[in-house]
Structure 1
Amino acid sequence: MSLSVTTSHASLAGPRERNEDFVGMVTPTDPELSTKGLMAAVADGVSGNEGGREASEYTVRGLLADYYATPDTWEISTALERVVSAINSWVLSQGAARREMAGMATTLTALVLRGRMYYTAHVGDSRCYLLRNGTLQRLTQDHVWERPEMRHVLTRAIGLDSRIAIDHGMGEMQVGDLFLLASDGVWAALSEYDITALLSDVARGQQPAQDAAQALCERALAAGSQDNASAIVLRVDQVPQGDLRDLLSQERHLHVPPRLKPGQMIDHYLVEEVIHVSPASLLYRVRDTHGGRQLVLKTITPERADDPQECSAFTHEEWLAKRVVARFFPQVITPQQKSYLYYLTTWHAGSTLQQLLDAGIHFTVPEAIAHGTQLVRAIGALHRRSIIHRDIKPANTHVGDDKQLRVLDMGVAQSGLKAESANATQQAAMAGTPSFLAPEQFEAKAASRQTDLYAAGVTLYYLLTRRYPYGEIEPFQHPRFGTPVPPTRYRPDIPWWLENVLLKAVARDPADRFETAEEFLLALERGASRPLAAPAPTPLVRRDPVSLWRTVAIVSLVLNLLLLYLIAVR
């Protein structure tokens, strides 16, 4: 699903001989729509000569062309700032070099719609409005003198000063939003009540969206406007799934909250309990004072607040958590007001599998199979969304009082949509808990769907035996993997078919494991009715090639020494 917007534009000279306004739009298709977005701009030239029209036209044309030539890695506000600053320098130089263009300047109001976010860049007294749910909001402030008799005199404009200060704004879009870009020839002649009424007709379908801009300009002139009248109207018909870059832009300006104690408030959420503390993150159980609902609030620790990589990683975690809409995961709740860097998820009473194990709970074979089935289903849901969890373990597997298993903590998860730097590949492979990492990850190979399934196999093995198939692995240890210990050695009541499933899931060689979550799930569901064959013994050349060749070398050396001895005796 991509962004879909209905647009209309109009620019009428009115009673003036020249139209010094200029409007423009670029409505690209993918991939530019996803990387750069849709852009619309209105400019109102300021001059009594040809300079006003030339300034407004060059500014809009230059912005629409040069913005799409900026690097995709630039933030939208950065790209707009750089392009507008360059245009400002050109307009200044033209006004100084050409006598007939002296004093040329222009206002500019630009709007970019990308992903689920809108961005504004503004200088002068043209305006941008947003109509949402019948309420009109002005998104820009006029740069004019405050005195009533000086309200028509600009304090900021393109071409007015060598240093230009641009106002930037941003927010999240909703389906049905109506944006209006208008010159002062429109908004000065029409009250906000009149603008709201006409845009509301568009929102209700009583006025064609394609004719809205023309209707606004004609009404402004009919109401007595003596200026050029220009407008662009954009109606948001469809918004895509949240974009990571937009979320990074949105949350880059948020501060990390201080450590909170029960009884304190953050926005309108009352902290009831500190759930978890780690060097990197904090989890609180909070209550929404508006609705009374209990939620989980997650943020990073204040000590990591100055680390831009940590903040970006946290935002990436939030973005991934929003994408996994399924019963196997806590669901992200979007707050109406957000003053700090955090995100909210649903709260579910219950315990993690690790907490249950620590409490001495003994899991029967049917219980373990039931939990394993839900866990593999959850992993399958992640993989279908191109997400690798990378830290599947009992501590991240929660069983609610409603008997629903949920996978927690997307802190080190990776998405196929997120580019990983080459320098971080080795460190990324080792993310997670050592005893649940697949053997190939200790060789600096990247995490994959099969490493998640391996961790699920170790989790189920541990749930039944409280031991690991290759023994416990300490941090920074580089283990040597041989043959996994059959779980029946620790627990004889495990059926042989389940042992075969577990041994296949935790096989040393990825080629011997389950390829997909669906294959793993099918083996658990079929059980004894269609059991897997017992894994074949791993040949020594694959199990421990170093030891094999060391033995061959020793035998060869002994034989050679023996031959030398026999030759010497003769």
Structure 2
Amino acid sequence: MTTATLQASLGYSSLTGPRPRNEDFCGAVTPEGPELDSKGILAVVADGVGGHANGREASEYTVRGLLSDYYATPDTWAVNKALDTVISALNRWLVSHAARTRETAGMATTLTAIVLRGRRYYLAHVGDSRIYRLRAGKLEQLSTDHVWEHPELKNVLSRAVGLDAHLSVDYADGELEAGDVFALMSDGVWGQLGDRKIADILCAESDPQDAAARLAMSAEDSGSQDNCTALVMRIDALPADKLRDNIARLHRLPLPPKLKLGQTLDGLTVEAVLHESIATLLYRVRDSHGHARVLKTLRPEHDDAESAAALAHEEWLARRVNDAYFPQVIAHPERSHLYYLMSWHDGATLKARLDNGHRFGSGEIADLGERILKGVAGLHRLSIVHRDIKPDNLHLDAEGRLRILDLGVAASDAQVEGQKFGEINNPGTPTYMAPELYGPKTIAANEQTDLYAVGVTLYELLTRKYPYGEIEPFQNPKFGDPVPPTRYRPDTPEWLEAVLLKAVARDPKARFETAEEFLLALERGARRPLAVPRRSPLMERDPQMGLKLLALGSVVINILLVYLLMVR
């Protein structure tokens, strides 16, 4: 019978051997509950570079640092991104530390790590420690040794943590199967035993601790001249499905019926219907303590697995965005239907303010832009792309605080397993979608396309127009040069116009790369204005028209030449 959580057994052994000290280090973290679901089990083996001072310190620092800092990264990050961020930071520290004194020069270590999460494994590897997988009695080496290929240098590392400021780490991932055995080991073990002996031991020893101890002792007894470290993990059980436990739990909840004013659901009384879309419903409700909340659920006709998973994924993301620029998810233990609660804030969206006739001044635009970008930057640090930034999704409360609404189509690195949100098409509102999201070479929405949407939003708030005109759904638009804001608002400062034109440039390379860069341009304002070309060359604006004019010019020149020849 399958279980709802991942279960794995682990064992390790590290022997000094004939060396004066053990420069190997290994460790593992086996969390429980939500952390097991979001981060998984992490195991690491490192071998301090022999012949150098502080090899042991390098391996221990790297293993301990990875084991602690990996679990401190946001849940929304992909596993490989979390591993790479932490390993890169550890490498920078080792390189810096090794350069301080002659005694620490050359301080470096190999690193081989595995994360088991859900029904997949993720590997990170640099150096000549190895990771093997035994599946159905067949042993497979999953890592590649980073040593020089020259015969005289075959035992010299070409890559290691701390060896170079520019570290290149190998990453890989794959599906888990119950009964898989993973063995991480230093070269003192695999170099002495060989693959056949390693396979024999892993097949013979069912207990991971016994297997790890036998690998290390067999290598030592066979005459290994190095430290001998082995860490063995066996997959005992896999989750029942590929969805996170909380996603699966919400999916099993029934959808509420369409609610009317005054109706009560799970102790929540409906006070107003805030919004109805094709798929979702938003209500303002009041709980038993008198607090106003926003309840978001699906329309009754959208009672399907994909819609339920999307709503549950949205709640999962919203819970992890603990930022003043976003509504906060409110826990409600009495929940017996598929919905989630958010904090309620009096006020209105920026779109509603536009519709009510408010005229935004340049100073307001700059101030709003800074606040929007601070919120967007917080999302991007969590590797979340909003994908639908627009005035409808930007809210100013009664006290003037800005909040970014609606993560309904947001995407993150750590997508729900089994779901592929936005991989084929890009959700969002066409007018605010960047040019590269259209056409045959469409890319997936990313952080930079969010910034484009911020630029269009600020442009609209200032001018009540759009830089390329309004784009209708299913339209295949063509993008020339954006219309300068001064066409509609002659009072726009030159520096602000330059910022907005850069934000909505047709070419992604001409735009801001990060929210921080965009924010800095607004903060500097007129003190350090940007230099942005107001008009691009014809061949960039319309390549086909440019080619037609070039062909026409060629024809005219040829006719002229023929005429000149004839008159002679």
TM-score where L is the length of structure 2 = 0.56
Secondary structure of residue in 2 paired with 1:528: helix
Secondary structure of residue in 2 paired with 1:298: strand
Distance 1:552 1:423, change over 3 A: farther
Matched residue, 1:203 = none
Once residues 565 and 301 of structure 2 are traced to their aligned partners in structure 1, the CA distance between those partners, rounded to angstroms, is 74
Secondary structure of residue in 1 paired with 2:309: helix
Question: Is 1:322–2:322 an aligned residue pair?
Answer: no
Structure 2 residue corresponding to 1:485, chosen from 460, 483, 486: 483
Distance 1:421 1:528, change over 3 A: farther
How many Å apart are 1:37 and its aligned residue? 6.5
Matched residue, 1:516 = 514
Question: Is 1:356–2:353 an aligned residue pair?
Answer: yes
Is the CA contact 2:37–2:118 (under 8 Å) kept in the aligned structure 1? Answer: no
Matched residue, 2:279 = 280
Question: Is 1:401–2:448 an aligned residue pair?
Answer: no
Secondary structure of residue in 2 paired with 1:272: strand
Matched residue, 1:72 = 119
Is the CA contact 1:36–1:72 (under 8 Å) kept in the aligned structure 2? Answer: no
Once residues 562 and 418 of structure 2 are traced to their aligned partners in structure 1, the CA distance between those partners, rounded to angstroms, is 56
| Greater Rg over alpha carbons, structure | 1
How many Å apart are 1:261 and its aligned residue? 0.5
Aligned length: 347
Matched residue, 1:147 = none
Structure 1 residue runs of 5 or longer lacking an equivalent are 6-25, 39-67, 74-242
Once residues 501 and 419 of structure 1 are traced to their aligned partners in structure 2, the CA distance between those partners, rounded to angstroms, is 36
Q: Percent identity?
A: 53
Q: State the one-letter code of the partner of 2:443.
A: K
How many Å apart are 1:479 and its aligned residue? 1.2
Q: State the one-letter code of the partner of 1:499.
A: E
Question: Is 1:263–2:262 an aligned residue pair?
Answer: yes
Once residues 523 and 70 of structure 1 are traced to their aligned partners in structure 2, the CA distance between those partners, rounded to angstroms, is 41
How many Å apart are 1:534 and its aligned residue? 3.2
Once residues 517 and 394 of structure 1 are traced to their aligned partners in structure 2, the CA distance between those partners, rounded to angstroms, is 18
Q: State the one-letter code of the partner of 1:414.
A: A
How many Å apart are 1:277 and its aligned residue? 0.6
Map Cα deviations across residues 205-260 of structure 1 (whole Å, 9 max, x no partner).
xxxxxxxxxxxxxxxxxxxxxxxxxxxxxxxxxxxxxx971221111210111100
Distance 1:384 1:70, change over 3 A: closer
Once residues 508 and 407 of structure 1 are traced to their aligned partners in structure 2, the CA distance between those partners, rounded to angstroms, is 25
Map Cα deviations across residues 323-379 of structure 1 (whole Å, 9 max, x no partner).
111110000001011100000000000000001111111112222222111111111
How many Å apart are 1:492 and its aligned residue? 1.2
Once residues 323 and 116 of structure 2 are traced to their aligned partners in structure 1, the CA distance between those partners, rounded to angstroms, is 39
Distance 1:29 1:481, change over 3 A: same
Once residues 371 and 35 of structure 2 are traced to their aligned partners in structure 1, the CA distance between those partners, rounded to angstroms, is 40
Distance 1:493 1:69, change over 3 A: closer
Once residues 244 and 554 of structure 1 are traced to their aligned partners in structure 2, the CA distance between those partners, rounded to angstroms, is 60
Q: State the one-letter code of the partner of 1:361.
A: H
Once residues 324 and 116 of structure 2 are traced to their aligned partners in structure 1, the CA distance between those partners, rounded to angstroms, is 43
Map Cα deviations across residues 132-176 of structure 1 (whole Å, 9 max, x no partner).
xxxxxxxxxxxxxxxxxxxxxxxxxxxxxxxxxxxxxxxxxxxxx
Alignment of 1:421-432 (within 5 A): 427-429=424-426, 431-432=427-428
Is the CA contact 1:299–1:342 (under 8 Å) kept in the aligned structure 2? Answer: yes
Matched residue, 1:434 = 430
Is the CA contact 1:27–1:33 (under 8 Å) kept in the aligned structure 2? Answer: no
Map Cα deviations across residues 372-411 of structure 1 (whole Å, 9 max, x no partner).
1111111111101100001000000000001100000111
How many Å apart are 1:427 and its aligned residue? 4.4
Map Cα deviations across residues 55-90 of structure 1 (whole Å, 9 max, x no partner).
xxxxxxxxxxxxx999817xxxxxxxxxxxxxxxxx
Is the CA contact 2:37–2:244 (under 8 Å) kept in the aligned structure 1? Answer: no
Matched residue, 1:539 = 537
Secondary structure of residue in 2 paired with 1:406: strand
Structure 2 residue runs of 5 or longer lacking an equivalent are 8-27, 42-114, 121-241
Distance 1:476 1:555, change over 3 A: same
Distance 1:71 1:294, change over 3 A: closer
How many Å apart are 1:564 and its aligned residue? 6.9
Is the CA contact 1:35–1:72 (under 8 Å) kept in the aligned structure 2? Answer: no
Larger RCO: 1 or 2 (CA < 8 Å, sep 6+)? 2
Distance 1:268 1:425, change over 3 A: closer
Q: State the one-letter code of the partner of 1:349.
A: D
Q: State the one-letter code of the partner of 1:253.
A: R
Matched residue, 1:370 = 367
How many Å apart are 1:283 and its aligned residue? 0.2
Secondary structure of residue in 1 paired with 2:272: strand
Distance 1:420 1:448, change over 3 A: farther
Matched residue, 1:379 = 376
Q: State the one-letter code of the partner of 1:362.
A: R
Moved over 4 A (4+): 26-38, 68-71, 419-427, 557-570
Once residues 263 and 455 of structure 1 are traced to their aligned partners in structure 2, the CA distance between those partners, rounded to angstroms, is 38
Q: State the one-letter code of the partner of 2:119.
A: D
How many Å apart are 1:526 and its aligned residue? 1.2
Secondary structure of residue in 1 paired with 2:368: helix
Is the CA contact 1:462–1:468 (under 8 Å) kept in the aligned structure 2? Answer: yes
TM-score where L is the length of structure 1 = 0.56
